[in-house]
């Protein structure tokens, strides 16, 4: 339908036709609500389309509240337990989506992420939901007797209830915007400080040059930041470090703080060095068994172990083992919102009901998905939050 042929008054208007917005709209539509979804982008669900390398890691088999960052760690519990990953899997199976399980319980589409968008659009159609893209939101105001009026590039709309599902600031080229935060502030809600999450870390000066020389190399390491450790790959790039291990750690890293890399996470490195010393074997042989040659050469040029291993005191070997297992680096920055998969921070969850997602200070106004101060780790946890918060809200509308 075109904007002009649509009714001007709705039970529910959802702002944002992304993962959370479409899921919430379909859920509310099935409850008999007349639902309109508005989005300023040319197409719905742009982030789903490019997510997971085009295959969308749409959920995870092992979702727990511990996989999320939120100022109030209890906030996520209710929605996640009411709509677990098994519920979303049941939905995609009903639509005969071909999906596959990868490492650490991650589920991906086999063919393409757009298959998942088709499922959400189909659900919206079946639930009688209208989705209008190319619509710029100019102003939102509360009506004196309840409900909201919206001025948009496609005219004025009214709704008894308004759901804000406009996501975070990451990937501005996909039309990410801060509208959700602006609306929260307009209605007197606190917004916690935002920063890029699940993002590569950049280095300046000599470290940038060193990592650029290793660009394209990927190694399994254990990466620690802010007290959390992730055993996943680290990728060297022309500006610094990336790969799943670094993206995970970036959620817990703060500027000025270090990240610590264990370059040989599966080894008892000190014991291995002592055994090398006894056997008379060389360090490079040992490192060469675990690392590509390029990284070994880089490491030994940077951290040479002078002299014959047999003559090196155990204490010095212990320190060298620490160098290998606690390689401490100080990133200069993150690669920013252009490269971040998510936004950390957002609408303060103290302002929102964890059962219905309604704003405590503004009846009829709801916030769901990434716009909230809830961020998942890498692995399908962010989409699972979008689905779970959307369904809890959609059932309460
Ligand atoms: C490159 C990339 C890969 C990712 N891969 C994964 C993955 O594999 N697994 C995973 O779990 N998570 C992944 N994520 C994160 C995931 O995409 C998000 O957490 C999720 O999309 C959030 O859903 P949402 O509905 O809250 O927001 P979004 O999906 O961002 O949807 C928000 C919608 O609101 C619209 N909007 C924004 N501002 C306005 C405005 N001013 N007016 C009108 N409409 C507006 C947008 O156009 C968009 O359609 C990835 C993110 C990126 C960037």
With respect to residue 361, please indicate whether it lies within any of the assigned structural domains. yes
Q: Is 70 in the pocket of ligand 1 (CB under 6 A)?
A: no
* Ligand 1 geometric centre to CA of 336 (Å): 16
Residue 253 half-sphere exposure toward CB, CA atoms < 13 A? 32
Residue ranges in the chain whose pLDDT is less than 70: 1
Length of the chain: 397
User: Does residue 153 sit in the same domain as residue 264?
Assistant: no
Atom 37 of ligand 1 has which residue's CA nearest to it? 166
Q: Counting Cβ atoms within 10 Å, is residue 206 exposed (0-12), middle (13-18) or buried (19+)?
A: exposed
CB-CB contact of 297 with 270 (8 Å) = no
Q: Is 296 in the pocket of ligand 1 (CB under 6 A)?
A: no
Give the CATH number for residue 129: 3.50.50.60
User: Does residue 114 sit in the same domain as residue 49?
Assistant: yes
CB-CB contact of 167 with 47 (8 Å) = yes
* Ligand 1 geometric centre to CA of 18 (Å): 6
With respect to residue 364, please indicate whether it lies within any of the assigned structural domains. yes
- Print the domain residue range for 317: 200-335
CA separation for the pair 379, 368 (Å, rounded): 20
Per-state percent for the chain, helix, strand, coil, to nearest 5: 40, 25, 40
End-to-end CA distance of the chain: 24
Output the pLDDT for position 4.
86
With respect to residue 2, please indicate whether it lies within any of the assigned structural domains. no
Output the pLDDT for position 306.
82
With respect to residue 40, please indicate whether it lies within any of the assigned structural domains. yes
What is the count of structural domains for the chain?
Answer: 2
Sheet holding 228-236, edge to edge: 327-329, 259-262, 218-225, 228-236, 240-242, 201-202, 333-334
Output the pLDDT for position 69.
98
User: Does residue 21 sit in the same domain as residue 38?
Assistant: yes
Three-class DSSP category at 254: coil
With respect to residue 178, please indicate whether it lies within any of the assigned structural domains. yes
Output the pLDDT for position 285.
87
User: Does residue 234 sit in the same domain as residue 120?
Assistant: no
Which among 320, 335, 350 is the end of a domain? Answer: 335
Q: State the residue for tokens 């056997």.
A: 279
Q: Are strands 201-202 and 240-242 parallel, antiparallel or unpaired?
A: antiparallel
Q: Is 41 in the pocket of ligand 1 (CB under 6 A)?
A: yes
Neighbours of 119 (CB within 10 A): 20
Q: Which long-range contacts (CB under 8 A, 24 or more apart) does 31-35 make?
A: 31/394, 31/395, 31/397, 33/397, 34/7, 34/10, 34/128, 35/10, 35/11, 35/127, 35/128, 35/129, 35/130
* Ligand 1 geometric centre to CA of 342 (Å): 8
Contact residues for 393 (Cβ-Cβ < 8 A; gap 6+): 24, 27, 163, 356, 357, 358, 366, 368
User: Does residue 264 sit in the same domain as residue 146?
Assistant: no
Q: Are strands 327-329 and 148-152 parallel, antiparallel or unpaired?
A: unpaired
With respect to residue 1, please indicate whether it lies within any of the assigned structural domains. no
Which among 335, 355, 387 is the end of a domain? Answer: 335
φ/ψ region of 171 (left if φ > 0, alpha if ψ in -120 to 50, else beta) reads: left
* Ligand 1 geometric centre to CA of 197 (Å): 13
Q: Tell which atom from ligand 1 comes closest to the C-alpha of 390.
A: 25
Mutation test residue for ligand 1: of 18, 173, 345, the one with most atoms within 8 Å of CB:
18
Mutation test residue for ligand 1: of 167, 173, 357, the one with most atoms within 8 Å of CB:
167
CA distances from 316 to 263, 300, 309, 351 (A): 18, 16, 10, 54
Q: Tell which atom from ligand 1 comes closest to the C-alpha of 175.
A: 47
User: Does residue 166 sit in the same domain as residue 54?
Assistant: yes
User: Does residue 190 sit in the same domain as residue 210?
Assistant: no
Atom 41 of ligand 1 has which residue's CA nearest to it? 179
Neighbours of 260 (CB within 10 A): 16
Q: Tell which atom from ligand 1 comes closest to the C-alpha of 381.
A: 11
Give the CATH number for residue 322: 2.40.30.10
With respect to residue 103, please indicate whether it lies within any of the assigned structural domains. yes
Q: Kindly report the average pLDDT of the chain as a whole number.
A: 97
Which among 297, 318, 335 is the end of a domain? Answer: 335
With respect to residue 42, please indicate whether it lies within any of the assigned structural domains. yes
User: Does residue 50 sit in the same domain as residue 164?
Assistant: yes
User: Does residue 43 sit in the same domain as residue 160?
Assistant: yes
Q: Is 51 in the pocket of ligand 1 (CB under 6 A)?
A: yes
Question: What proportion of the chain, given as a percentage, has pLDDT over 70?
Answer: 100
Could you say which DSSP state residue 147 is in? Answer: -
Q: Is 341 in the pocket of ligand 1 (CB under 6 A)?
A: yes
CA separation for the pair 39, 134 (Å, rounded): 6
User: Does residue 62 sit in the same domain as residue 206?
Assistant: no
CA separation for the pair 148, 10 (Å, rounded): 10
Both structure tokens of 343: 């936004």
CA separation for the pair 356, 358 (Å, rounded): 5
Output the pLDDT for position 1.
66
User: Does residue 112 sit in the same domain as residue 258?
Assistant: no
CB-CB contact of 42 with 133 (8 Å) = yes
Distance of CA 189 to the CA centre of its chain: 23
Both structure tokens of 100: 């596959």
User: Does residue 237 sit in the same domain as residue 298?
Assistant: yes
Q: Is 133 in the pocket of ligand 1 (CB under 6 A)?
A: no
């Amino acid at each position: 339908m075109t904007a002009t042929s649509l009714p001007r008054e709705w039970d529910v208007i959802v702002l944002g036709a992304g993962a959370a917005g479409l899921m919430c709209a379909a859920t509310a539509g099935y409850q008999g609500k007349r639902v309109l979804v508005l989005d300023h982008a040319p197409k719905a669900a742009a982030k789903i389309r490019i997510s997971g390398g085009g295959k969308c890691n749409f959920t995870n088999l092992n979702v727990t509240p511990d996989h999320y960052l939120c100022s109030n760690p209890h906030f996520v519990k209710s929605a996640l337990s009411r709509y677990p990953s098994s519920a979303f899997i049941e939905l995609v199976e009903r639509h005969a989506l071909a999906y596959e399980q990868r490492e650490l319980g991650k589920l991906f589409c086999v063919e393409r992420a757009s298959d998942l968008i088709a499922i959400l659009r189909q659900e919206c159609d079946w639930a009688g939901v209208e989705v209008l893209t190319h619509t710029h939101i100019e102003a939102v105001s509360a009506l004196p007797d309840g409900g909201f009026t919206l001025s948009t590039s496609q005219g004025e709309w009214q709704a008894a209830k308004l759901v804000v599902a406009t996501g975070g600031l990451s990937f501005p080229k996909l039309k990410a915007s801060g509208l959700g935060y602006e609306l929260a502030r307009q209605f007197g809600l606190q917004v916690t400080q935002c920063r890029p999450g699940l993002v590569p870390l950049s280095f300046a000066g000599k470290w940038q040059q060193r990592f650029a020389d290793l660009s394209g190399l990927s190694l399994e390491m254990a990466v620690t930041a802010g007290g959390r450790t992730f055993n996943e790959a680290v990728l060297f790039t022309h500006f610094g470090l990336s790969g799943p291990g670094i993206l995970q750690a970036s959620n817990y890293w703060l500027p000025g703080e270090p990240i610590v890399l264990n370059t040989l996470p599966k080894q008892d490195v000190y014991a291995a060095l002592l055994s090398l010393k006894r056997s008379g074997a060389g360090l490079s042989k040992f490192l060469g068994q675990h690392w590509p040659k390029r990284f070994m050469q880089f490491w030994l040029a940077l951290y040479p172990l002078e002299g014959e291993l047999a003559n090196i005191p155990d204490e010095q070997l212990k320190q060298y083992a620490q160098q290998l297992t606690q390689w401490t680096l100080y990133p200069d920055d993150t690669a920013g919102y252009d490269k971040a998969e998510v936004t950390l921070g957002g609408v303060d969850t103290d302002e929102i009901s964890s059962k219905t997602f309604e704003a405590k200070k503004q009846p009829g106004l709801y916030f769901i998905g990434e716009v909230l101060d809830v961020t998942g780790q890498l692995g399908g946890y962010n989409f699972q939050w979008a689905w779970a918060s959307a369904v809890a809200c959609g059932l309460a509308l």
